[in-house]
Structures are given as structure tokens and as C-alpha cells.
């Protein structure tokens, strides 16, 4: 599904990723944890194709194609989805028209005609149920005036609409209360399948109680310094990151 080899990336000439390796197979859920500033969100941005970052070395293959060769639109159409840490507000563009343009973009890529209005609305209704997204929010401007929890539910709704092959959740748990965390996690879990993979980026173990990962990786200073199973997250919760940093330096 995704193969990252010695990835190096920087922003404004400061190096953030310093040779990162990661392989994700179909159906797997990987969690990336790490202290502030270790490069977690940079990894998400670079994979999604944010142009503020420059890739200085390494390779990323996504289903056999060179991901770094594609622009953000092409990556999304090829089946990569990024749930934003801070979803963007777009005043004047209704959520529903936004999604329609997105769905039709994907369909165009697949050689399909634009979706019919009726089919689209049915799809919206079905997917919105998954994250209990209010009808009101569907018709409002994208994320405008949404609460933190509503924004994150909207991200998962969009993910459900686009049915990606690989979904990257960038600190989707930040700013969520317990109820919203449960709803969002259930939405994600409902989408788990043998041919869909997830990369879950988080600070806290809490999210991983709900979205149980197959693998946990620890990112320190732009590199993955330790990988393990879901029990690694529990260990981090208990012991913090310092011991791993020390191990990594040693």
C-alpha cells in the first residue's frame, strides 16, 4: 500500500524528516506517536502533498506509483486521504457542494460520469449517519462556525464519502471530548476493511483505546526510533518519551 524509504523533508530550510522508513500493508492500522516537534504533522503534510514542504531525499511509493511525483489533487484521487488537524473553513462554499466536487473529481479520475444529484444525496445521507453529522451541518459553509468536534466529525464524513485506500488521521483526537472521540472512532472503525489502511497520528494513547492499531511507531527527531505492537502505546503513556529519546541517542 505505502512504502516510505529514507524520506527527508524540510520547511524554510529547517530539516524536519531525516530519513524516515515505514511500510504499511493493506488493511493495517499504524499509529505514529512522538513528542512535540518530532515531525508527525510534517509527515502527514508531505504525504498529502502540501507544497510548503520540500522533499530533500528518499522515496514514497503508493500502490506501486511514485507518490512524490503527484500533486495534492492526484494523490487524493489515487486514494489518499488526510484528515486535517485543523480543518479549514471555506466561507460561502456549502459542505455539500464541496463534497460533490470532490466525489466528481474522483469519479473523473476513474473514468466515470459525474454522480447524479439523487444518488449523491442518498450517499450523503448514508455516510452522514456514520458520524451522526447533522443535516444542518451538511448545508452550511465548509467548517464555518463548526465546533471542534463538528469539524472532526466532518473530516471523517468526508473520508467516508471518498472511501480512500489510505487514510491519514492527523491528531484527529485533539480538541475532542469523550463523546465526540467515541463517535469519530466508531466512524473510523466502521470503515476498517482488509483493503483499506490507516495511519493514525496522535499524541495520546487514549485514541488508540478506540482505534486499536496493529503497529505503533515512535517518531523522534524526524526518524522512527522504535516500533512495536499496541502495547508500545501503553508503555509510552506510562513512561513518557524521555527513555526512548535517551535510547535513540545512545
Contacts with other proteins, residue ranges (CB under 8 A): 48-51, 71-73, 75-77, 81-82, 84, 87-93, 96-102, 104-106, 109, 114, 117, 120, 141-142, 158, 162
- 62 vs 84 by CB, closer to other proteins: 84
Q: Tell me if 70 sits within 8 A of 64, measured CB to CB.
A: no
Q: How many CA atoms lie less than 13 Å away from 134 in the CB half-sphere?
A: 10
Question: Count of H helices and E strands in the chain?
Answer: 10, 12
φ and ψ of 34, to 5 deg: 165, 160
- 42 vs 205 by CB, closer to other proteins: 42
Rounded to a whole number of angstroms, the minimum distance from the CB of residue 93 to other proteins is: 5
110: which residues sit within 8 A by CB, 6+ positions away? none
- 40 vs 138 by CB, closer to other proteins: 138
Q: Tell me if 225 sits within 8 A of 233, measured CB to CB.
A: no
- 64 vs 116 by CB, closer to other proteins: 116
Rounded to a whole number of angstroms, the minimum distance from the CB of residue 64 to other proteins is: 19
Rounded to a whole number of angstroms, the minimum distance from the CB of residue 119 to other proteins is: 12
Q: Dihedral sign, CA of 10, 168, 61, 108?
A: negative
Rounded to a whole number of angstroms, the minimum distance from the CB of residue 118 to other proteins is: 9
H helices of the chain, where? 40-48, 72-77, 95-109, 117-130, 135-139, 148-162, 178-191, 206-210, 231-239, 242-249
- 99 vs 218 by CB, closer to other proteins: 99
Rounded to a whole number of angstroms, the minimum distance from the CB of residue 103 to other proteins is: 8
Amino acid at each position: 500500500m505505502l512504502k516510505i524509504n529514507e524520506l527527508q523533508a524540510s520547511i524554510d530550510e529547517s530539516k524536519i524528516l531525516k530519513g524516515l522508513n515505514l511500510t504499511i500493508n493493506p488493511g493495517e492500522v499504524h499509529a505514529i506517536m512522538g513528542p512535540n516537534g518530532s515531525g508527525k504533522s510534517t509527515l502527514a503534510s508531505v504525504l498529502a502533498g502540501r507544497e510548503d514542504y520540500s522533499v530533500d531525499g528518499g522515496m514514497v511509493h503508493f500502490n506501486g506509483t511514485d507518490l512524490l511525483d503527484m500533486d495534492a489533487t492526484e494523490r487524493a484521487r489515487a486514494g489518499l486521504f488526510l484528515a486535517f488537524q485543523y480543518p479549514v473553513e471555506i466561507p460561502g462554499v456549502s459542505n455539500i457542494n464541496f463534497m460533490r466536487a470532490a466525489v466528481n473529481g474522483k469519479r473523473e479520475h476513474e473514468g466515470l460520469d459525474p454522480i447524479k444529484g439523487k444518488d449523491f444525496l442518498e450517499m450523503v445521507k448514508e455516510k452522514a449517519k456514520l458520524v451522526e453529522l447533522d443535516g444542518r451541518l451538511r448545508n452550511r459553509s465548509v467548517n464555518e462556525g463548526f465546533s471542534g468536534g463538528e469539524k472532526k466529525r466532518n473530516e471523517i464524513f468526508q473520508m467516508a464519502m471518498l472511501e480512500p485506500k489510505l487514510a491519514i488521521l492527523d491528531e484527529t483526537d485533539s480538541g475532542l471530548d469523550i463523546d465526540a472521540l467515541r463517535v469519530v472512532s466508531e466512524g473510523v472503525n466502521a470503515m476498517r476493511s482488509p483493503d483499506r489502511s490507516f495511519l493514525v497520528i496522535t499524541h495520546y494513547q487514549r485514541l488508540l483505546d478506540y482505534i486499536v492499531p496493529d503497529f505503533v511507531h515512535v517518531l523522534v527527531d524526524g526518524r522512527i526510533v522504535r516500533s512495536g505492537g499496541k502495547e508500545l502505546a501503553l508503555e509510552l503513556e506510562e513512561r513518557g518519551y524521555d527513555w526512548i529519546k535517551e535510547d535513540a541517542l545512545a
